[in-house]
Structure 1
Amino acid sequence: MYKHYHSCLSSTTSTYFSELFCFNSGKFTVQGGGNTGNTMTCAARLGLKPRIISKVSTDAPGKSMMEELEAEGVDTSFLVVSKEGTSPFSYIIVDSQTKTRTCIFTPGYPPMVPADLPKANLLSALDGARVVYFDARMADSALVIAQEAFRQNISILIDAERPREGLNDLLGLADYVVCSENFPKAWTEASSIPRALVSIILRFPRLKFAIVTLGKEGCIMLEKCVDDESSHIEEMDVDSCLTSLTKTKDDSIAMPTCIASPVTKLIAEGIGSVCGRLYFGTTEKIPPSELIDTTGAGDAFTGAVLYAICANLPPKKMLPFASYVAAAKCRALGARAGLPYRTNPYLTSFTESIV
């Protein structure tokens, strides 16, 4: 029923690492991780057919990474496998009482460089792709891939977790961006997240939307709309707009919801204005007894956004869907164990529209 979408997603990245998760109760598990590995696993479970471009070594972690991805339905044929060096690895300690985690990261070596991906391999990796995703690491390689995707008119989604070298160039080619909570203000030096979103949309005119994830507080999205100067569009301060949206939140609803403004000229004084729509998405209220580990929740959210882009889901459907997928992940130890499958009954209302 969704064969077209099975082959439409290509993922590109520069890092993917294995993680050891250790509960302070004494439990531990070894499993794959990394932004793109997690995001692609989520996308595969939702029914897409992702491909991954990255680099690993022939050591035990590298082999385990490839086997785990392949078992999940992620195409690893474009992974660069080095006969020397080490694969990236993280040791993560999860505190079951405070629900916090501590990450100790060991980078892989040698890093991926543009020469690792011949033009023929790159073209093959992008063949038939609907969306290309970047975790914005190893900017030189990422930019080469992004430029080719741009030339082929393939949509680009950037995961802006933190300011990184070369990120500005990648964002200049992007159609969509999902940001971590601290990124927008750090990147733009704006005084608030809504103002920062206006700045990002103005700075990168190709962007159709920018999303900021706020953990248990939900998410904010700014969608750019066509400015029809022939019609009257209400003007509103962007911070005031968000405040008005949050005031309408119904705390009695346990499942994720989305509240949207009308198309508005959103003003950030001293920065500029954007004709668009502001969205505030809530999260699922997870009972404390069910909340196990938030590691990888942001990657699960992004994986669901990838699915939504391919499925042309409207924002008011996309944001609750992504929030639910992220919440499902939090009910298991590690970045992937809790990721839901397409067959999850709650997801039916979102996935049944794919033909």
Structure 2
Amino acid sequence: MRLEPLAARTKRKFPRIAGAGICCLDHIFVTPQIAWGGTARVEEYRVQGGGLVGTALVACARLGASCFLFSFLSHDEVGAQVASELAAEGIKLEGVAGIPQGTSPFSFIHVDSRSGERTIFHRPAAGLERAVLPDLGRIAECDVLLVDDYYPELALAAAGTAHKNGVPVVADLTVSLSKCPDLFREINVLIAPRAFAAQIGYAGDLPGALQAIHRLGPETALITLGREGYMYSSVDGRGKGKAFKVAVVDTTGAGDAFHGAFAYGLARRWEIERCAEFAAAVAAIKCTKPGGRTGLPTLPQTIHFLERNGRLDWSDLKAG
């Protein structure tokens, strides 16, 4: 499926974006370093919702989109807090299925206070074998679907529903091709980290990696490079962009913010180059505050940032 079906949809001022994937709880602690075998003083500690699709949808909601989540949570304290935070952001949760007698996923995240880089220690959800897929019908009413591969069966079913209804699919995948190989054929836009290039045999050859991604199925491929920016390839050509320079406090959730903002741009039918620069701006702003969601900006905040730092012309966005 190509991206043209989106152009036939009625343009909405507030796009509808669905997400199918993980939402979890993050315990974030900041130290200058981890003293393995010793004791390290924690400079800052906070608990907030996280997860690839969960945080990406929060980014979309802050920008003004109507968002719908499809995921799994247990009826435990973690699940209750995760759901409460998402609902407070205005995200619709009727697509979140319960995990009977299970546990919701959570993470401990160490942030190096010197660089802002993070390391994640993740505890997966338990009891999924007893969970039933949620009703995915609402996806047909949306402009874009975001997926990750944390719940492969859910991702494949959601992407298939989107595909049948002409809804473009933007994917945020981990570095395992074997986890959900059939999913690639349902994806329109794959946004992957540099490590993905190495995993498919193209370490040090990013243009080759982009073409390899096309052969897997997605017609648009983008590789994020952290502080070095990003490269992309689509049916309209290739391009690259630089990361915006900001005072980095915490990189937790930067990739999730990028994916969410890119999906927002795609829902507004922007060109890939424009989606990518907008996404880079949202991710950069996010990194200026601690936690995966605290720094996620609103649309006016993003416009203001792009007016001062963007390479493209964003004056039309300010006009609405």
TM class by shorter-chain length? 0.7 to 0.9
Q: Which runs of 4+ in 1 moved over 6 A?
A: none
| Bigger-Rg structure (1/2) | 1
- Cα drift, residue 94 of structure 1: 1.0
CA distance in structure 1 between the partners assigned to 2:263 and 2:165 by the alignment: 18
Aligned pair in 2 of structure 1 residues 82, 184: CA closer, same or farther (>3 Å)?
same
> Which residue is equivalent to 1:8?
16
CA distance in structure 2 between the partners assigned to 1:295 and 1:304 by the alignment: 16
Aligned pairs (5 A) from 1:49-88: 49-88=66-105
Letter of the aligned partner of 1:208 in structure 2? E
Letter of the aligned partner of 1:181 in structure 2? R
Using CA pairs below 8 Å that are at least 6 residues apart, which structure has the higher relative contact order? 2
Aligned mate of 1:208, from 219, 230, 241: 219
Deviations along 1:100-133, one digit per CA (max 9) or x if unpaired, are: 322211111122778332xxx221x214111111
CA distance in structure 2 between the partners assigned to 1:114 and 1:86 by the alignment: 11
For the pair 1:161 / 2:174, whether they are aligned, the reply is: yes
Aligned pair in 2 of structure 1 residues 153, 315: CA closer, same or farther (>3 Å)?
closer
> Which residue is equivalent to 2:46?
29
Gaps of 5+ in 2: 1-9, 32-41, 308-313
For the 8 Å contact 2:100–2:130, the answer to whether it is kept is: no
Letter of the aligned partner of 1:333 in structure 2? P
For the 8 Å contact 1:114–1:144, the answer to whether it is kept is: no
> Which residue is equivalent to 2:245?
285
Matched positions, count: 293
Aligned pairs (5 A) from 1:234-245: none
CA distance in structure 1 between the partners assigned to 2:130 and 2:161 by the alignment: 16
TM-score scaled by structure 1? Answer: 0.77
Q: SS where residue 94 of structure 2 aligns?
A: coil
Gaps of 5+ in 1: 226-276
For the pair 1:106 / 2:123, whether they are aligned, the reply is: yes
Aligned pairs (5 A) from 1:180-259: 180-189=193-202, 192-204=205-217, 207-225=218-236
TM-score scaled by structure 2? Answer: 0.85
> Which residue is equivalent to 2:293?
336
- Cα drift, residue 335 of structure 1: 0.5
Deviations along 1:26-81, one digit per CA (max 9) or x if unpaired, are: 21110000101110000111111111111111111100101100111111111112
Q: SS where residue 12 of structure 2 aligns?
A: helix
Aligned pair in 2 of structure 1 residues 96, 9: CA closer, same or farther (>3 Å)?
same
For the 8 Å contact 2:184–2:216, the answer to whether it is kept is: no
Aligned pair in 2 of structure 1 residues 90, 190: CA closer, same or farther (>3 Å)?
closer
Percent identity of the aligned residues? Answer: 28
CA distance in structure 2 between the partners assigned to 1:293 and 1:175 by the alignment: 30
For the 8 Å contact 1:18–1:31, the answer to whether it is kept is: yes
CA distance in structure 2 between the partners assigned to 1:112 and 1:126 by the alignment: 24
Aligned pair in 2 of structure 1 residues 317, 122: CA closer, same or farther (>3 Å)?
closer
Q: SS where residue 343 of structure 1 aligns?
A: helix
For the pair 1:313 / 2:302, whether they are aligned, the reply is: no
CA distance in structure 1 between the partners assigned to 2:319 and 2:161 by the alignment: 28
For the pair 1:352 / 2:311, whether they are aligned, the reply is: no
CA distance in structure 2 between the partners assigned to 1:20 and 1:43 by the alignment: 23
